[in-house]
Amino acid sequence: MVKFSPVGEKEVTRALIEGFAKHYARLAECDVIIVGGGPSGLACGRELARKGVRTLVVERNNFLGGGFWIGGYLINKVTVRAPAQEYLQEIGVPHEEVTEGLYVADGPHACSKLIAAACDAGVKFATITKLEDLVLRENNRVAGAVINWTPVEAMPHNITCVDPVALESKVLVDATGHDAAAVGKLEERGLFKRKGFGAMWVEKSEDLVVEHTGEVHPGLVVTGMAVSTVFGLPRMGPTFGAMLLSGVKAAEEVLRILKSQPAQVVAARA
């Protein structure tokens, strides 16, 4: 017979609250905040965390994975075009070649492996948490995220008004998909103009997304479908190779910025 330890409710409650407080106290200042826990954000986070970068993913939903659970049209198979099958191979997702250069995998398997790979690498997560605004410093350099619980938005203001909190970071990555929500916060202040993604053209879009992945404003890197929205690139529909490889490229960009940043930050604060 199984006999569980005689731990009671108060210990369970304390464990939750103390664990949460420790988690957030550490995350108030991290190296990188990635907004959006879809395929591009997870791939970016994994690369950074495995190189020892303190990385937080902020995700408005209670689940990670974004559009990667379902390949498209409510069908839970996902496709990638070569060479992105190498990434599936690397994280242990079974896949098969259906025609030369096109691979198919099970969405739940691919998505859960990617989430696990990011967790194993050391990425931390703030779920049910929405980017509400950006922290801007000298010359409008992005220096963090203003966040709030997602359900707060749905609460009527005459019942409660909940101020957000802010987390500081050296770099912020916009991995919010078609919305490009972090870049949108710059646009609201007249600091940027998103072009909006173009019509579907898979043969062109994936290469272009990876090519354009990078820093679009001091301290702000874009990855995944947010790149299409920012630069007006064609969309690619239900195929995910560019999301994974854009995430990897975004991580390289972040590492480059982090290497060049300390001197700038110190100089600016002096």
Please give the angle made by the CA atoms of 150, 111 and 219, to the nearest 5 degrees. Answer: 55
Q: Least distance to ligand 48F from the beta carbon of 267, Å?
A: 31
Q: How far apart are the first and last CA of the chain?
A: 65
- Gap between the Cα atoms of 183 and 216, Å rounded: 9
Amino acid at residue number 16: L
Q: Least distance to ligand 48F from the beta carbon of 34, Å?
A: 9
Nearer residue to ligand 48F within complex by CB, 226 or 261 = 226
- Gap between the Cα atoms of 199 and 34, Å rounded: 27
Residues that bind ligand 48F (CB under 6 A): 35-41, 58-61, 66-68, 130-131, 175-177, 179, 181, 224-226, 236, 239-240, 243
* Closest C-alpha among 204, 216, 114 to residue 172: 216
Q: Least distance to ligand 48F from the beta carbon of 150, Å?
A: 8
Tokens standing for 127? 């779920």
Nearer residue to ligand 48F within complex by CB, 205 or 261 = 205
Q: Least distance to ligand 48F from the beta carbon of 162, Å?
A: 16
* Closest C-alpha among 263, 203, 189, 192 to residue 234: 203
Q: Least distance to ligand 48F from the beta carbon of 255, Å?
A: 19
CB 229 within 8 A of CB 179: yes
Q: Least distance to ligand 48F from the beta carbon of 235, Å?
A: 6
Nearer residue to ligand 48F within complex by CB, 202 or 265 = 202
How far is residue 248 from each of residues 139, 171, 188, 210, measured CA to CA in Å?
28, 15, 28, 9
Nearer residue to ligand 48F within complex by CB, 136 or 261 = 136
Nearer residue to ligand 48F within complex by CB, 65 or 219 = 65
Nearer residue to ligand 48F within complex by CB, 148 or 264 = 148
- Gap between the Cα atoms of 158 and 154, Å rounded: 12
CB 150 within 8 A of CB 61: yes
| Sequence-separated (6 or more) residues with CB below 8 Å from residue 223 | 40, 41, 44, 173, 174, 175, 213, 246, 247, 249, 250
Nearer residue to ligand 48F within complex by CB, 68 or 141 = 68
Q: Least distance to ligand 48F from the beta carbon of 13, Å?
A: 27
The residue number whose beta carbon is nearest to ligand 48F equals: 38
